[in-house]
Amino acid sequence: MRAGTVRRKILANSALILLLMAAATLYTGFASLELDQSVEVLFRNNLVLERLQGALSQTEASFSEYLRTKSSESLKDFIKASTHLTDQARELNRDIVSDEILLLQRDLTRTFDTYLRVAEIGIQAKRGRDIPGYVERYETSARHAAGARILISDLKARFLSQALQAFSLYRNLIPGVLLSNAVLVLAATLLGFSLLLGYSRKLTEPLSRLAEAASAVGRGDYQIPIPQLNSQDEIATLAYSFAQMRLSIQQSFLDLQSRADVERTLLEERMQVLELNHRLKDAELLALQTQINPHFLFNTLSAGLQLAGVEGAQRTEAFLENLAVFIRYALTPPDRFVLISDELECVNRYIFLLRLRFGQRFAFDIRMDESIVSVEVPALILQPLIENSISHGLADIETGGLITIRGTREKEQAVLTVSDNGAGMAESERLAILTEAADFDKSPGHGIGLRNVIRRLHLSTNGRGRVELVSGEGQGLLVRIVLPLSSPEVLG
């Protein structure tokens, strides 16, 4: 037997069976087509008429409600219902034809148009407080609506009559259709059964033996013998391919075991690396805030504050008090959040220190929305931005320097902005700052300035917060801090 013989015989005999079954099905289908079409037309037309009737009822109800209450809501309902009624009426025939049903549809369409015109006139009369006018239009519209319902009922009756006539014709064909189908199905069944008996012995016996071998492979037993077939058909090819596949599976299983051991080792090493990265992140956050963390300076300032109080140097005492409180605030642990009100207090103390140094050289405009003062934010994010404006943006300005600080709530976000009217920065510099902050450069020159704030905000909020820079050369700099209130790290 040549390769492919079994396949060709199965395909040929299966095609014969399918032809017989297709003939029976097509015969039934063509016989049922007329009934199907008539029933489809009935349902489609009845659905259109039901929609029209519903739209008419809604329009009448809203029209009556407006005449009774003269409310804007009932007028909106009337406009909506009348528009829907007009759209539904467009599906009806509007041409003048000889067919009686199409003539009824045309009359129904005209009745709807007349009803809507009368109703609109009635609404205008109601607006003009013309009581006799809108009462007359209401009665006229009711007569037109009643006429429309009569036409709808007549159309339903005619559609039903057509469907019943088509069903009667189909009913007369049913006995012949059933007999023909029975003969064709019986012939196809007998032929198929005989073919199954003929091929079952040739196909199922070697396939059963191959199935046993496959089950053994599934259990991990690779030693069960595979049947040796002398034929050259597809089943023999399948047996040979299965034998080769079993060898490949056995070898692949051994390879997977070795690979699993290697991957297990790599996974353990990867977990160690992730743990180290986590610790590095915590260490980086700690280092960012401890750059201004000399405890001895705080203790020294406290001693100086006491000395100034003893000597009666009130201005020096106020300076040392604000500086000491500011430094103590800067010593906030890196894993803590503070209220915006606390951050604002730190800013005010820092401004006090700046005024002692620069006098009235710079002006400060602070406005904070009361709805966000209790929101928690990473500590020390506003002061570095003010320092950045003083050191860079306003460095060359002797008078008229202005730093504006704002805090607002935008939906589910708290937004803090610090802007100045200084020199601004070029687009290339702005992009460089954002890029370097994303891949933090730990060189001392970066200090605790703008890059530091961007990086700390990213670390403290797990990437949920963001910083936006808006600037141009000679146009000042605006730093916008966006903190999502839904974030677990930022609580309102």
* Residues 159-169: tens digit of each pLDDT: 777 767 766 76
Q: 1 falls in which pLDDT band (50, 70, 90)?
A: very low
Establish if 492 belongs to a structural domain: no
Phi-psi region of 476 (alpha: psi -120 to 50; beta: other; left: phi over 0): left
Of 237, 264, 285, the domain-final residue:
285
Task: Look at residue 298 and tell me if it is in a domain.
Answer: no
| 275 and 388 together in one domain | no
Domain count of the fold of the chain: 3
13 and 72 inside one domain: yes
The answer to the question of residue 254 being in a domain is yes
Q: pLDDT value at position 415?
A: 94
Q: Is residue 61 part of a domain?
A: yes
pLDDT the model gives residue 28:
67
* Dihedral over alpha carbons 442, 446, 449, 452 (to 10 degrees): -20
Same domain, yes or no: 69 and 159: yes
As a whole number of angstroms, the distance between CA 164 and CA 167 comes to 5
Query: Is the confidence at residue 387, as pLDDT, over 50?
Result: yes
Residue 238 lies in a domain: yes
- pLDDT at residue 183 in the model: 78
Q: Tokens standing for 381? A: 């994010």
Token digits for 363?
A: 């002006």
Look up residue 235 and give its amino acid: I
Last residue of a domain, one of 285, 303, 324: 285
pLDDT for residue 405? 95
Residue type, 415: V
Distance between CA 221 and CA 212 in Å, rounded?
11
Q: What are phi and psi of 232, to 5 degrees?
A: -115, 25
Helix axis angle, 131-218 to 234-289, nearest 10° = 110
User: Is 258 found in the same domain as 131?
Assistant: no
Burial class (CB in 10 A: 0-12, 13-18, 19+), 120: middle
- Mark 339-354 as b/e (b = at least 16 C-beta within 10 Å): bbebbbebbebbbbeb
Residue-wise pLDDT for 92-147, tens only, equals 765 555 577 777 778 878 887 888 888 888 888 888 888 888 888 888 888 888 88
Residue 369: which pLDDT band, with cuts at 50, 70 and 90? very high
Instruction: List, in order, residues 6 or more apart from 227 with CB less than 8 Å away.
Output: 206, 209, 210, 213, 239
Domain co-membership, 59 together with 173: yes
Same structural domain, 41 and 175 = yes
Q: Which amino acid is at 362?
A: F
Residues 36 and 84 in one domain: yes
Helix axes 5-69, 100-127, angle to 10 degrees: 40
Q: What is the pLDDT of residue 461?
A: 80
Do 136 and 255 belong together in one domain?
A: no
What pLDDT is recorded for position 298? 56
> Is pLDDT above 50 for 443?
no
Whether 44 and 140 share a structural domain: yes
Radius of gyration (C-alpha) of the chain in whole angstroms = 44
Q: How far apart are CA 458 and CA 454, in angstroms?
A: 6
Residue 337 banded pLDDT, cuts 50, 70, 90 = confident
Q: Are residues 242 and 130 in the same domain?
A: no
Residue 445: predicted pLDDT: 40
Q: CATH number, domain at 60?
A: 1.20.120.1730
Which residues span the domain enclosing 246?
228-285
Q: What is the pLDDT of residue 336?
A: 72
55 within domain boundaries: yes
Q: What whole-number distance in Å separates Cα of residue 477 and Cα of residue 491?
A: 28
Closest CA to 84 of 122, 108, 57, 45: 57
Contact call for residues 471 and 430 (beta carbons, < 8 A):
yes
Residues 6+ apart with CB under 8 A from 380: 289, 329, 330, 332, 343, 346, 448, 456
Shared-domain flag, residues 148 and 9: yes
Report whether pLDDT(243) > 50.
yes
* CA pair distance 437, 415, nearest whole angstrom: 20
Q: Taking 60 as the threshold, does the pLDDT of residue 441 lie above it?
A: no
Structure confidence by residue, pLDDT tens digits, 275-291: 656 655 664 555 555 54
Render pLDDT for 183-220 as a digit per residue (tens, 0 to 9): 777 877 887 777 677 666 666 766 777 777 777 767 76
Give yes or no for a contact between 405 and 365, defined as CB atoms under 8 angstroms apart: yes
What's the Cα-to-Cα distance from 324 to each of 321, 329, 335, 363, rounded to whole Å? 5, 9, 22, 23
More confident of the two residues 391 and 23: 391
Residues 386 and 396: their CA atoms lie apart, in Å, by 15
Question: Are the beta carbons of 388 and 451 closer than 8 angstroms?
Answer: no
Q: Is residue 349 part of a domain?
A: no
What distances in angstroms separate CA 476 from CA 299, 363, 390, one per listed residue? Answer: 38, 15, 12
Per-residue pLDDT at 43 exceeds 60? yes
Q: Is residue 222 part of a domain?
A: no
pLDDT band at 233, cuts 50/70/90? low
121 and 256 co-located in one domain? no
CATH number at residue 385: 3.30.565.10
